[in-house]
Structure 1
Amino acid sequence: MTELDAFRTSVRDWCDQRVPTDWRTAQTGISDEEFVAFQKSWFAELHSAGYAVPHWPAEWGGGLRTRGAQGPMSVPQQIVLYQELAAHDAPRLVLAFVGIHHAASTLLAAGTDEQQRRHLPAILDGEIWVQGFSEPEAGSDLAALRTSARRDGDTFVVNGQKLWASGALHADWCLLLARTDPDAPKRQGISYFLMDMTTPGIEVRPIRNAVGDSHFCEIFLNDVAIPEANLVGAVNEGWQVAQATLGTERGMTMLELAERLSNAGFRWLVQACTPVEDSWVADRLAQFEIELAGLRGLCRDLVERSETGQTGPADASIVKLYYSELLQRMTGFGAEIGGLPAQAVLTKPASSGWESGNWMLDFIGSWEWTIPGGASEIQRTIIGERGLGLPR
């Protein structure tokens, strides 16, 4: 047995013992308080096993724990971990997602030593983060943001509004972009802040969507004081810092999502079509299987090259575009073959992913992925200009 086989066996044994078999029923139709409590409990369970942040450096709590020792988790091990979690239908870390991916990558790439010491251990203890980037007039064109941050001694006073802030109702901290120089070219006058969500002047309003969820929120900022110590990077250079955050959203997080789509989403799709008696359905399933193999290969290649600093300027956008549109096609097909019964499902488990098997709701939710983090049109522009060198 190889070392990787032994690791798979250990993860599989852990999943058999620890993944709650009734979580889907228990997480359907619950209150916000019950959802938050379950998410924090499940995160703590994964963290205690060394499975919550396998992509983090070992010195900050990432990687494996074996016989009291700790070391980095290799890309093949991460793939095995995500495969087994998906195969065992483990709940997703919905609330911790921004913290363990976007906030952590930002802090590791551009945060001060004090910011890292303050927040990275706190994230492992359950600190929840939200991303405060988009605004009513600055979505795909993020650099058009108008939220202002005016220096006042050793603080910045922030006024403005953020939109589509996922999970803001439960967040402890926010990754915030604000304009600190209104006269500078729009990509050169933005700064990046860490904002305590308990600061006076912050109001969070949930946005109820068509299926009754309130995942997205608005954040209103009225004379919110942020200490200068919470500035990430230099003043007016927040756009460069934000690219690292967006690169993570478009790239590194895809490794987990690709394995879940391949091992859980596709399995449920095949089950929904069984027995396959229509050649057109069989052809669609075969095509999806081929596309999923391509997605997994792209994600693995991106993560491996990221570790050696060899990624291209558009690689993360390619993966994000590919995943989001494949997710949309797969869930749309699921809704199609699900027929009228798929239209009648009104709720799905709160801790599930975008491929819960409730096809119509999954399909509606899949549109989130072709818009946030850079809409598909923006991804194609990045690929054309930065990847292929085409003119603007």
Structure 2
Amino acid sequence: MTSVAPAARDLAELRAELRAWCRANVPTGWRRAQTGIGDEEFVAFQKDWFQRLRRAGYAVPHWPAEWGGGMSAAEQMVLYQELAAADAPRLVLAFVSIHHAASTLLTAGTDEQRRRHLPAILDGELWVQGFSEPEAGSDLASLRTTARRESRPGGDVFVVNGQKLWASGAVHADWCLLLARTDPAAPKRRGISYFLLDMCTPGLDVRPIRNAIGDAHFCEIFLNDVEIPAENLVGPENAGWQVAQATLAAERGMTMLELAERLGNVGLRALVDTCRTPGPDGRRPIDDTLVRDRLAGFDAEIAGLRALCRDLVERHDTGAVGPADASVVKVYYSELLQRLTGFGAEIAGLAAHTELAKPASSGWESGAWLLDFLGSWEWTIPGGTNEIQRTIIGERGLGLPREP
């Protein structure tokens, strides 16, 4: 991305262009059509929506211009504002592909890795993140999956054995971002390597996990003597921890730009609509002063979130991001999401507690309040729990003594 914001006239033109495009392209009635569907329909819908955005130049605005992106932070704000205002579907299936995989390739990948995968992602290649393990969630550096280098006639390979957990979308993925231990004798953060794993490789077993809501987008991945060519190593051997931290920190602000706009334009709007709906006694919750105060508070908090996200992306462009800035945004967003969806479930009452399905292509701000609230708790866990994030904020951001 460039760091120079376009003129106000250009942003106004972009906004008008986006509004016209959304009117012509956002699928009518997609929420109803995407509720209670099977995997095949969901995948087909997501891939079609991605290609619509790609053809218009809106699918990967955060990528460099030579790879199909090039929007400034200000332009991305306008893009996500208009997509959210038009209640466009989210790219939930391609999320890891266009954000985490692309960030890894652009930051630490080789030229050959970028040429192989970035165009393929634009064509629909799907990725999953293979980081967490049964004994390595919040403390990711404790991972036990091993990768042993061996020589083969056609070149070196890494033979991988272990298990990954909570791999969202693994059942649909073509490739995996994999962390594995290549030096068991090294300190735990210094003996990990980062790999690109073809999900068609022999020895892989993917098993979906059904959650409390009834969804099965989480998966376990079992790896039994899985061979990864040495050219699929990202960054130096045993430096995978540093690669993962750099790419995820750089990417978090980009993803939060969209999520903040979704929360404001879709989530808050749905909450206001719920508060305007008369309850069993005929009263509207929004007529209560305390309810209006809560809504005003959420509006102010979302304004703060938007400002934080934009500031993070703009400072990323100039190389001025602090070591804990992404952690601040993650904690702020996830806990605001919990409060907002929890209030929605409270206001909606018993009727919301009987909803058993939500649109497959929405986020956790769909207005199916109990399901949204349950799903919101996911956001305080992945990428390092909020407890871990607070430790990062204290130690790296505020310079406090390290935790014992």
Structure 1 gap segments, 5+ residues each: 63-71
For residues 244 and 123 of structure 1, the distance between their equivalents in structure 2, rounded to whole angstroms, comes to 21
Is 1:147–1:159's contact at 8 Å kept on the other side of the alignment? yes
Are 2:43 and 1:36 equivalent residues in the alignment?
A: yes
Please name the residue that 1:101 is paired with: 99
Question: SS where residue 367 of structure 1 aligns?
Answer: helix
Q: C-alpha deviations, 1:230-279, integer Å up to 9, x for none?
A: 00000000000000232145332101000110111111111111251111
Q: TM-score, normalised by structure 2?
A: 0.94
Q: Percent identity?
A: 77
Superposed displacement of residue 170, structure 1: 0.2
Instruction: Give the Å deviation of 1:73.
Output: 1.1
Partner of 1:66: none
Task: Give the letter for the 1:296 counterpart.
Answer: R
The answer for the alignment partner of 1:67 in structure 2 is: none
Amino acid at match of 2:366: S
Amino acid in structure 2 at the alignment position of 1:205: R
Partner Cα separation in structure 2 for residue 188 and residue 251 of structure 1 = 26
Q: Deviations over 1:98-145 (max 9, x none)?
A: 000000000000000000000000000000000000000000000000
CA distance in 1: counterparts of 2:246 and 2:25, whole angstroms: 34
Aligned counterpart, 2:61: 54
Q: How does 1:1-392 map to 2 (within 5 A)?
A: 2-62=9-69, 72-153=70-151, 154-248=156-250, 250-274=252-276, 275=284, 276-392=286-402
Give the RMSD, CA atoms, in angstroms: 0.9
Count the aligned residue pairs: 383
Structure 2: runs of 5+ lacking an equivalent = 1-7, 277-283
The range that moved more, 1-10 or 230-239, is 1-10
Q: Partner of 1:272: helix, strand, or coil?
A: helix
| Correspondence for 1:65 | none
SS class of match (1:194): strand
Measured after TM superposition, the shift of residue 31 of structure 1 is: 1.0
TM-score by length of 1: 0.97
Moved over 4 A (4+): none
CA distance in 1, matches of 2:317, 2:247: 16
Q: Distance in 1 between matches of 2:265 and 2:359?
A: 18
Residue 369 of structure 1 aligns to a residue whose secondary structure is: helix
Inter-partner Cα distance in structure 1 for 2:253 and 2:138: 17
- Contact 1:102/1:248 (8 A) holds in 2: no
SS across alignment from 1:188? coil
* 1:265-323: CA deviation from partner (whole Å, max 9, x where unpaired): 11111111125111110110111111001000000000000001100000000001100
Give the 3-state SS of the residue equivalent to 2:226 in structure 1.
strand
In 2: Cα distance, 1:98 partner to 1:85 partner: 19
Q: Does the 8 Å contact 2:250/2:316 carry over to 1?
A: no
Q: Structure 2 counterpart of 1:239, which letter? A: W
Q: Distance in 2 between matches of 1:249 and 1:327?
A: 20
